[in-house]
Amino acid sequence: VLHTTRPLHTSQQCSAPLPPLPEKGGEVRHGLIPEEFFQFLYPKTGVTGPYMLGTGLLLYLLSKEIYVINHETVAAACILTVIIYAVKKFGGDVAAFADKLNEEKIATALAVKNEAIKDLESAIEQEKKEQWRVEGRSYLFDAKRNNIAMLLETNYRERLMTVYNEVKKRLDYQVAMQNLRRQKEQEHMIQWVEKSVVQSITPQQQKESIAKCILDLKALSKSAQAAV
């Protein structure tokens, strides 16, 4: 049976890939009757065919009392009015709302994709920049090398300076020591000479020198008076 029915299949017998949803629903006239029915009757009965059929059917049902008009008819008329009014008034809004829900769903997914693409593009930009930076690397290294050489030179000179100062300090110390010794020797000698001289002055000599000084003073005072 499985193989005999195969020629009757009209579509593929598997689920994937899913056929796309049709863009618009089937065409209907008066919200109920498909357009295909009107097309079906058109060759034989023209444009008014289906309407004549409908009217005739309705009149037949009513006149033969196959459909009895009772209280339910009025209730039916009321509920139909309410339904048609609701559909005409809110139909477009509800459809737009459903479309909006779907659009939002698609938009979030697209946003994710675009975000990812943007991130990757900016990553590519960054990478290119890094590559350009790499080319200037040699200049950077030269500058750094110069920097370090200068630092080393400065350090060396500072240390040289320190050594020079230290040596000078030690030599100055030696010179100061020698000067001090010289000075001390001189003072000592002067004191010793003075002490010897003072010791060697006898009292006799002292008296004679004082008398001489007094005579000199008298003579001087005589000449000084004259000057005044």
Partner 1 sequence: MNLSFFDQFSSPCLLGIPLILLATLFPALLLPAPNNRWITNRLTTLQLWCINLITKQLMIPLNKTGHKWAMVLSSLMIFLLLINLLGLLPYTFTPTTQLSMNMALAFPLWLATLLIGLRNQPSTSLGHLLPEGTPTPLIPALILIETTSLLIRPLALGVRLTANLTAGHLLIQLISTATIALLSIMPSVSILTSIILLLLTMLEVAVAMIQAYVFVLLLSLYLQENI
Question: Which residue type does 227 have?
Answer: A
Q: Residue 13, SS3? A: coil
User: What is d(CA 38, CA 28) in angstroms, rounded to the nearest whole number?
Assistant: 10
**Using rule CB under 8 A, residue 115 touches partner 1:** no
Q: Report phi then psi at 17, rounded to 5.
A: -75, 150
Per-residue interface string for the shown chain with partner 1, residues 44-83, x marking contact by CB under 8 A: ------------------------xxxxxxxxx-xx-xx-
- Nearest approach, Cβ of residue 93 and partner 1 (Å): 12
Contacts to partner 1 from residues 18-37, by CB under 8 A: 18, 21
Query: Can you count the helices (H) and strands (E) in the chain?
Result: 5, 2
Region of 53-61, 94-102, 111-119, 174-182 interacting with partner 1 (CB under 8 A):
94-102
Closest approach, Cβ 76 to partner 1, in A, equals 4
Angle at 36 between CA 34 and CA 41, to 5 degrees: 115
Altogether, the residues listed in the chain come to a count of 228
88 near partner 1 (CB under 8 A): no
Q: Per-residue string for binding with partner 1, 140-159, x by CB under 8 A?
A: --------------------
Q: How far is CA 166 from CA 132, 159, 162, in A?
A: 52, 11, 6
How many angstroms separate the CA atoms of 228 and 224, rounded?
A: 6
Q: Which listed range, 4-12, 15-23, 26-34, 165-173, lies at the site for partner 1 (CB under 8 A)? A: 15-23
Residues in contact with partner 1 by CB under 8 A are 15, 18, 21, 68-76, 78-79, 81-82, 94-95, 97-99, 101-102, 105-106
